Structure 1
Amino acid sequence: MLVYVYLLSYLSAVRAGSHSLMAFATYIIGQTPFPEFSAVVMLDDLQVMYYDSITRRARSYDDSKHYDEEKSVAGVIFRDMYNDMKGRAFYLKEHLNFTDGVHVYQRLAGCELLNDDKPGPLQTWDAFDQKNKEEFIFNEEKNHFQIELPWILWDNLQIAHMKFLYKNVYHPVCIKVLQSYLQVKKNNVMRKVKPRVRLMRKMLSDSEGLQISCLATGFYPRHINLTLFRDGQPVEDNQITGGEILPNGDGTYQMRKSLVISEEELREEHEYNCTMKHLSLDNKLDFTFVSDVAESDPGSFSQFVVFSVLVFMCVVVFIITALIIWRKRRAAGRDSEASQCKYFSTSSSMQDET
């Protein structure tokens, strides 16, 4: 779970216009219904490959012409990751004095291709039972390798060996596979869908004021800058609720930010607006919350709502009454016509008998 949080944070932090390839791996100590080892590969926010220790095969979710090569390379890397995580997991279990039972070791590893097609750093995060974190970072541009928060002490020889692997194996393979997947999935990950925007207001109970919300939804990619302003100045983050990027069911995303305005602030008649920037937009979008009776006078707004409901109910009663009267008149008219028909029929019969 801890590494999954890092995955969400990483995806949110990836720079606009850049792309990432991340492997999310899990190794389990103990008896569970799940594979001992499994890994999912994500291109940005799309799942493109899966591997587990039961089948010991990499399964790709695309029609890449390099599928066999990618599957072979991925299989080698996953098996190496599996053996490494297995050895480290049992070492950590003993080193950290964990008891028997189920323990989970997770790893998030991947690379980034910047918006100028320049390779970014290769990073790896490890977590054991959601409590400990170890991070490996290789910066190709600076040819620099570092370890943050190490679980064990690394000597110079081990660090040199890891640097060699990251520089000559992991990083170039990651970038190559990332570029290959971008060619296959470019219609998905490089598409740009403009956000739809809704401005909403909600009267709060117990004279708590008014809540305004700015919702941007249906956009892709997931990077968006949504800001609420009061009189031209950004509202402080501690006054705003929401702000998380959430997935929609159609592969797009949404973000909502809300602000509660007290009755005192309403009387001060501030101007509030919402501004957003997104890759699909040539310019930023600016939306203003129009000041009206709903914002300036909550009591009047409530009276307006009550009055509107009463008018609506009166109209409904009038329509129902008119409909009942119309149906009665129609039924009476039919009875009259039936009587007349019966009268004429009887009169005709009497004349015929005469």
Structure 2
Amino acid sequence: MLDDVQIAYYDSTTWKPVYRSHSDSKYYDEQSDAGVVLRDMYYDMKDRAFYLKEHQNHTDGVHVHQRLVGCELLYSNKPGQLHYWDAFGGQNMEEFIFDIGKHTIQIKMLWVITWNQLKRVHENFMYENVYHPICIKTLRRYLNMEKNNVLRKVKPRVRLMKKTLSDSHGLQISCLATGFYPRHINLTLFRDGQPVDDDQITGGEILPNGDGTYQMRKSLVISEEELREEHKYNCSMKLKHLSQDNKLDITFGK
């Protein structure tokens, strides 16, 4: 993945990565290196999943082993850290960070298998000289290829909707922002100029649209008594890449 854009996946049948765009022969060595890393990661995950299943006395059945590894480029185009997370059966089992500035691995959590000094030296060497350089090289190449996609800025469409609740004679108002990119957004409902408490709000998850953009909806139930009090409800949306807020105002009551 490059941010939220899929670049490739590993096919365990053919033992090869499958790239979303057509492979380019001039990047053969780089893609070959990435394929070796992905293959090693696949077999390592299989071995660890088998070990943990036995160690934790899990019965036969479906068990999920998840791994997330990612590197970052800083705004100065300098290589950043490499993060590594592992989970088994929905539980975080291992987490560490390779710090390129300090040339060391910062361990936050390990499996029940501990690292001795030899293992630590080996892992540090592999991350500094193999995994991190390959990750950064791949990131830079695909950022250059996909920059028009991942660096685009799309302004959302914002609507404030209302629905009558027949059972309580109240109203539900919903603020919907859709079609925006990137996914970072702050959507707030106000009552008489004050933010509504989070425990009164439902929704708030960022969901994908079919065209690669995102949407978010937040809803608030207004009781019959509140409707008689004539409050003013506002929907305010903020995006980091927009210079101005999008606001919609709607007033309920007499």
TM-score, normalised to structure 2, is 0.89
Measure, in 2, the Cα distance between the counterparts of 1:154 and 1:277. Answer: 46
Cα separation, partners in 2 of 1:211 and 1:103, compared to 1, 3 Å: closer
Aligned position for 1:193? 154
Measure, in 2, the Cα distance between the counterparts of 1:275 and 1:125. Answer: 35
Aligned position for 1:316? none
1:61 aligned to 2:20?
yes
Measure, in 2, the Cα distance between the counterparts of 1:114 and 1:287. Answer: 36
1:48 aligned to 2:7?
yes
1:154 match: secondary structure: coil
The count of aligned residue pairs is 252
2:181 counterpart letter in structure 1? Y
1:47 match: secondary structure: coil
1:98 counterpart letter in structure 2? H
Q: Which runs of 5 or more structure 1 residues have no equivalent in the other structure?
A: 1-41, 298-354
Measure, in 2, the Cα distance between the counterparts of 1:102 and 1:255. Answer: 33
Cα separation, partners in 2 of 1:246 and 1:161, compared to 1, 3 Å: same
TM alignment of 1:1-354, pairs within 5 A: 42-63=1-22, 65=24, 66-151=26-111, 152-289=113-250, 291=251, 295-296=252-253
What is the aligned-residue identity percentage? 66
Measure, in 1, the Cα distance between the counterparts of 2:163 and 2:156. Answer: 22
The structure richer in strand per residue is 2
What is the CA-CA distance between 1:149 and the residue it aligns to?
Answer: 3.2
Q: Which runs of 5 or more structure 2 residues have no equivalent in the other structure?
A: none
1:103 match: secondary structure: coil
1:43 match: secondary structure: coil
Measure, in 2, the Cα distance between the counterparts of 1:190 and 1:250. Answer: 15
Cα separation, partners in 2 of 1:216 and 1:154, compared to 1, 3 Å: same
2:110 match: secondary structure: coil
The structure richer in helix per residue is 1
What is the CA-CA distance between 1:206 and the residue it aligns to?
Answer: 2.7
Kindly name which structure, 1 or 2, has the bigger radius of gyration based on alpha carbons.
1
1:153 counterpart letter in structure 2? T
What is the CA-CA distance between 1:90 and the residue it aligns to?
Answer: 2.4
Contact 1:64 1:184 in 2 (8 A): no
What is the CA-CA distance between 1:116 and the residue it aligns to?
Answer: 4.3
Measure, in 2, the Cα distance between the counterparts of 1:163 and 1:48. Answer: 27
Measure, in 2, the Cα distance between the counterparts of 1:182 and 1:280. Answer: 19
Deviations 1:121-168 (A, max 9, x none): 211111223345321222334544223332222223323332232223
2:106 counterpart letter in structure 1? Q
Give me the CA root mean square deviation.
2.1
What is the CA-CA distance between 1:78 and the residue it aligns to?
Answer: 1.1
Cα separation, partners in 2 of 1:221 and 1:132, compared to 1, 3 Å: closer
Deviations 1:110-129 (A, max 9, x none): 12224443433211111223
2:77 match: secondary structure: coil
What is the CA-CA distance between 1:212 and the residue it aligns to?
Answer: 1.2
Measure, in 1, the Cα distance between the counterparts of 2:52 and 2:205. Answer: 34
1:105 counterpart letter in structure 2? H
Contact 1:221 1:279 in 2 (8 A): no
